[in-house]
Structure 1
Amino acid sequence: MSWPKLPLDQLGYVSRGRSRHRPRNDPTLYGGPYPFIQTGDVKHANFRITEHTATYSDAGLVQSRLWPKDTLCITIAANIADTALLAYEACFPDSVIGFIADKEKADPRFVKYYFDIIQRELQMVSQGATQDNLSQEKLLSFGIVCPPIEVQRQVAEVLSTYDDLITTNQRRIALLEEVARRLYREWFVHLRFPGHEQVPVRDGVPEGWTQGSAHDFISILSGGTPKTSTEHYWDGGIPFFTPKDSPDAFYVLDTEKTLTESGLANCNSRLFKKNTTFITARGTVGKVALAQKPMAMNQSCYALVPKQEYDNLFLFAAIKDAVEHFKQVAVGGVFDAIVVDTFKVIPFVLPDAAITQAFGSAVQPLFRQVETLLLQNHDLAQARDLLLPKLMSGQLDVSNIPQPEESIA
């Protein structure tokens, strides 16, 4: 089936966001009631932008503009051609292009999914000598597949069902992770662990607990990278964790790169078992993740392993809680690196081993649910991505596609 292609500005209103005031970091522009969407917010959204990291004041709004719900945000600098729909009215800067669909010509969800297909092409035409940039002129030079509006809506309904389920699971994951974090603080920061009434506290530490540094109680293990020029070291079945793979949730499921057995044998990383805690030490500093399966690791990260018999999930929760302190003492003062000696100045209190095991038993069901939901989202995303090009090209009849609840466990 062949559908016409039209430039984006023939399907609705297209314009860059506004942030005319200089300097951009003027504090009078921020802290008010108006959501201010930045390129990073678009990148981290799954389908709709439901969270933001900054807000504009009345002064900020005056030098910008408020875009309506369902505006399609398209990043043109920093992260090229990432897209997401506004879930509420918001402002955004000129590094984002906004598209408001003409409801008689285009469904914004359909247009968003088409951008998912052509994102790599848009990135390629945006490459520059110094900094990648996607101009509005280049963006409008790309045609958007344009079936009848009824077909657009049907396709968007099917695909967005997958994304809605992913978003629901993400909310559940966030709630489960918050429960685990609060339980850790209740037990080990506020010292209201089971049986605390019978344990005397001396110098701020329950009897039987040991004070020291993170270095005293944690083995800090390094990684390494095999030669990138040796092809048979790569694209095997062993996940290879780097800072780029740092997840937003507790677990890292997949990695961008993988090693062969030969690659693992020829680098300075061991194969770390499931539930090993990773912390990124360079690049994106201080991101903490649990390995969901056995993984190797590059030299920009550390793997953290208990030196004594205490629970792995306790170690992960303790490091997550201490991560802000890690950042404060990172070499250079701008969080540009964590080195082994950094762990020598991180305060660490090791509880009685039985308490850590009790904590692990208490949070393990939460972690299992998080893992299950992440795996479900992985399967949902794979199924959506398989359907995406076939539905968008008309190769599949949308009426024959089952709902994801029926096709994915």
Structure 2
Amino acid sequence: MRTIRTIEEVCTQIVDCEHKTAPLDPEGEYFAVGTPAMRGNAINYEESRRISKDTFIRWTRRMAPQQGDLLFAREAPVGPIVMIPDTGNIAPGQRTMLLRPDPEQIDSRFLYYLLTSPRQQELLLSQASGSTVAHLNVADVRAFELPPLPSVDEQRAIAEVLGALDDKIAANTKLASTSADLAGLIYDTAVSSRETQPMSHVLTPILGGTPPRANPAYWEEEYLWASARDVTSAPFGMIVDTAEKISNAAATTTKAKPLPLGSVILTARGTVGAVARLAVPSSFNQSCYGFVPDALPPGILYFSILRATQRAKAIAHGSVFDTITMKTFDHLDIPVLCETSVETLESRIGPLLDVISEAVKENATLANTRDALLPQLMSGRLRVKDVADVVGSLV
């Protein structure tokens, strides 16, 4: 029978975080996970703070996190949730709360999916207060009402279906990460002793464009149109979709001409120096430069531009450029490669980049399926038996 309960009623323990920044230990094997490391409802270890074992013990003295606990962000921003893995090295960072679901009342993974569903996120944000930074108090989280819950067995079945999609996404992500590391290593080894030349001597930058927004006929969803945000958020530097799309008329009659698959886009303003590769043809806006595979094949083109911008940032002590202009390409160097070297190197890194592309594309399909099913399953409009075959065909 479905009944309404609060978060406090379905958890055996709820603990607030330490209200201070955990001391950083660059060599630490433990992590304090704060809200910046929780975006996307997964732990980003690069955004987490490495801490020592002593700090970990102090930061978890109220409750030692265990696998299946949920870490909830109650400020900056409100709403992200991550599941504690079985690594035994995760401590709550600032502005978080640690929840331990009661297994007799609610399945931990079900509660994770429930709280990350669009409707519950909307309700959480609506209860947040603060004129400068929206936040939830500990009492607000404890008293937050959950929708009527199905039986624990049904919860587990729902979580298993959604979890199968996430498990496949995780496997693809690991495959893409390994392929990216290997491709980068192969490229770096191959060019390590090569002479260099200005990028402008080899490549021709193309400036993108934005169709007039006053003409709605230009903004029909027919062609991808990448902005700097699409480039910076591209998983593994691979663009498979864009937030906005344009019409055929815009792609053929304005400056927003599409580039072919394998082209590279470099952000020139805003967050400057981000690099992404097109896994599908796409137009792009004027805050970016595009490069078409020609003198250099797709894989070498991507790594040449990526490494050139990374070196430039390192020289600038990690700061971003103010902007990139055509003259900038006179000062960004890429390796000199003979035709035979180009063919050999591309034959090694190209297939790895294809693996990444396919993994990212499949993850997009899996995530869209999960996000479409989540509210339907949570509301009871769909039952697990109705979607089992669809999910099974994807994983």
TM-score by length of 1: 0.83
1:144 partnered with 2:151: no
Q: Is the 8 A contact 1:277 1:289 kept in 2?
A: yes
Alignment match, 2:256: 269
**Which has more strand, going by share of residues?**
1
Distance 2:224 2:129 in 1: 29
Distance 1:133 1:225 in 2: 36
Alignment match, 1:238: 223
Distance 1:70 1:342 in 2: 50
C-alpha distance after superposition, 1:23-43 (max 9, x if no partner): x4855x664232221323221
Q: Is the 8 A contact 1:217 1:350 kept in 2?
A: no
Distance 1:128 1:298 in 2: 35
Alignment match, 1:96: 96
Q: Is the 8 A contact 1:279 1:302 kept in 2?
A: yes
Alignment match, 2:211: 226
TM-score by length of 2: 0.85
The counterpart of 1:170, out of the listed 161, 173, 181, is 173
Distance 2:97 2:212 in 1: 40
Alignment match, 1:130: 132
C-alpha distance after superposition, 1:163-214 (max 9, x if no partner): 111101111111112221111112111x5xxxxxxxxxxxx64xxxxx3222
Distance 2:77 2:362 in 1: 27
C-alpha distance after superposition, 1:128-169 (max 9, x if no partner): 543333444444454223222222111111110111111011
Equivalent positions of 1:4-83 (< 5 A) are 4-12=3-11, 13-20=13-20, 24=21, 27=24, 31-44=27-40, 46=42, 49=43, 51-52=45-46, 53-58=48-53, 60-61=55-56, 64-65=59-60, 66-83=64-81
Q: Percent same amino acid at aligned positions?
A: 22
**SS of equivalent residue, structure 1 residue 115:** helix
Distance 1:30 1:181 in 2: 24
Deviates more, 1:311-320 or 1:32-41: 32-41
Deviates more, 1:58-67 or 1:179-188: 58-67
Alignment match, 1:293: 280
Distance 1:9 1:230 in 2: 51
Instruction: Go from structure 1 to structure 2 and tell me whether the alpha carbon gap of 1:176 and 1:334 turns closer, same or farther (over 3 Å shift).
Output: closer
Q: Which runs of 5+ in 1 are unaligned?
A: 192-203, 206-210
Q: Which runs of 5+ in 2 are unaligned?
A: none
AA aligned to 1:73 is L
Structure 1 residue 110: Cα displacement: 0.7
Instruction: Go from structure 1 to structure 2 and tell me whether the alpha carbon gap of 1:6 and 1:155 turns closer, same or farther (over 3 Å shift).
Output: same
Q: CA RMSD in A?
A: 2.9
**SS of equivalent residue, structure 1 residue 169:** helix
Distance 2:4 2:52 in 1: 40
Instruction: Go from structure 1 to structure 2 and tell me whether the alpha carbon gap of 1:67 and 1:282 turns closer, same or farther (over 3 Å shift).
Output: farther
| Number of residue pairs aligned between Structure 1 and Structure 2 | 382
Distance 1:40 1:69 in 2: 21
Instruction: Go from structure 1 to structure 2 and tell me whether the alpha carbon gap of 1:345 and 1:257 turns closer, same or farther (over 3 Å shift).
Output: same
**SS of equivalent residue, structure 2 residue 209:** coil
